[in-house]
């Protein structure tokens, strides 16, 4: 199996390899899995999280499956990205939510008919930051009160994976990879994919990343098993997935998004499909709604490059927390939240972010180049122009 080891390559060569490589796959050891189950699961999560979790309680859409397949659901519910906030609307934790198929939604092991009904019970799996999983469990249980929902750490049973790369960017699963859609909880059947799925007796599948198409596919799979399609793929260290996100300016987890401090809209959560502005009340909703309806976000998370005075990339000299300043005006624009090699991300004021005179405070020989991601909606550019005029 071909592997990219960033420890053996400079980050410059590593990023070039990622940009030109086909599909890559990383086991996300920085992520863990918790499980919600019980009749009040949807109601409980709906009152807590920033996205509209009621979709998991609705009848899922049907997929056209030309061949009945054992343990493969004939219906599918896409995953969802969401956040748990403080009452003041600051970020605490991010969650990727998955609803496994119910027995009545798939054929039994023999392929002869659907399984028995679930009896109204709902189960949701959540992909969460491993470094704060115990803290998150404790927080959730404080909110549970008398709700009929069980919350369990199932990190030993499941693993989180990401599949990404140039050939997966900007395309839908059905156009780019019909075989990925056919493995596990999907529609049609591909013989290679079907054989790969037999390591699990419940059916598992890659899903399009709920945030952006350019991030590829994401999935939760049973621990100790290799996800479908990985055996013919290129497996790579998780650090390379971080490099992929840095290039696109997408933070993930409570390590990169300051817990209790970050404002979700400044970290582009609206553009990452993590916030529903129509769902009604949830913890921290008031600040999110007020900031959104005000219409102007003055600071945003941006991809950064670190350069020397000659415009050459500088590796390993910038650390998280470093202040970015405009040397012409002396103003502080924001700070770096994460850095790897010559790449980083930072939350900067948009009125000065794309000017040439940006440096790291105390390291004025290091120039900072902020990059506008291709995936940004057009209206964010209008916000930027409005902010600059103001």
pLDDT, one tens digit per residue, over 175-233 is 334 344 434 433 333 433 333 333 344 457 899 999 999 999 999 999 988 888 886 55
155 or 6: which carries more pLDDT confidence? Answer: 155
pLDDT, one tens digit per residue, over 142-151 is 999 999 999 9
| Residues 382/344, Cβ–Cβ less than 8 Å | no
Place 49 in a pLDDT band, splitting at 50, 70 and 90: very high
Token readout for 188 is 């049609």
Token readout for 13 is 């060569």
Q: What is the distance of C-alpha 155 from the center of its chain? A: 18
User: Quick check: 68 pLDDT over 80?
Assistant: no
Q: What is the pLDDT of residue 359?
A: 96
72 or 25: which carries more pLDDT confidence? Answer: 25
| Residues 246/190, Cβ–Cβ less than 8 Å | no
pLDDT, one tens digit per residue, over 23-42 is 889 999 999 999 999 999 99
Nearest to 221 by CA among 266, 162, 173: 162
| Residues 203/62, Cβ–Cβ less than 8 Å | no
- pTM for the whole thing? 0.84
User: Quick check: 11 pLDDT over 70?
Assistant: no
Q: What is the pLDDT of residue 229?
A: 80
């Amino acid at each position: 199996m071909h592997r990219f080891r960033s420890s053996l390559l400079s980050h410059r060569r590593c990023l070039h390899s990622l940009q030109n490589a086909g599909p890559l796959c990383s086991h996300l050891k920085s992520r863990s899995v918790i499980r919600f189950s019980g009749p009040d699961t949807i109601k409980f999560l709906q009152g807590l999280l920033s996205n509209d979790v009621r979709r998991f309680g609705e009848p899922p859409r049907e997929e056209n499956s030309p061949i009945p397949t054992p343990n493969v659901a004939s219906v599918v519910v896409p995953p969802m990205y969401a956040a748990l906030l403080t009452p003041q609307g600051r970020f605490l934790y991010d969650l990727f939510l998955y609803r496994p198929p119910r027995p009545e939604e798939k054929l039994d092991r023999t392929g002869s008919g659907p399984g028995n009904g679930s009896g109204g019970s709902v189960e949701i799996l959540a992909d969460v930051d491993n470094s704060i999983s115990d803290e998150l469990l404790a927080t959730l249980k404080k909110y549970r009160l008398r709700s009929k929902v069980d919350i369990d750490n199932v990190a030993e049973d499941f693993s989180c994976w990401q599949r990404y790369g140039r050939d997966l960017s900007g395309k839908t699963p059905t156009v780019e990879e019909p075989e990925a859609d056919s493995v596990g909880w999907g529609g049609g059947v591909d013989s290679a994919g079907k054989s790969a799925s037999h390591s699990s007796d419940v059916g598992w599948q890659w899903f399009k990343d709920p945030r952006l198409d350019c991030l590829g596919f994401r999935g939760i799979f049973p621990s100790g098993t290799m996800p479908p399609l990985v055996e013919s793929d290129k497996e790579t260290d998780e650090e390379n997935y971080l490099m992929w996100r840095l290039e696109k300016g997408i933070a993930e987890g409570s390590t990169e998004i300051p817990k209790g401090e970050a404002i979700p809209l400044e970290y582009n959560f609206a553009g990452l499909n993590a916030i529903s502005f129509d769902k009604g009340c949830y913890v921290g909703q008031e600040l999110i709604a007020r900031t959104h309806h005000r219409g102007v976000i003055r600071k945003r998370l941006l991809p950064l490059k670190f350069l020397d005075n000659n415009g050459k990339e500088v590796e390993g000299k910038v650390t998280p927390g470093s202040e970015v300043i405009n040397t012409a005006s002396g103003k502080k624009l924001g700070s770096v939240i994460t850095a790897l090699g010559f790449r980083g991300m930072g939350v900067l004021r948009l009125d000065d972010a794309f000017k040439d005179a940006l440096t790291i405070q105390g390291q004025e020989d290091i120039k900072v180049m902020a990059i506008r991601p291709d995936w940004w909606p057009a209206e964010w550019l209008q916000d930027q122009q409005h902010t600059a005029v103001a």
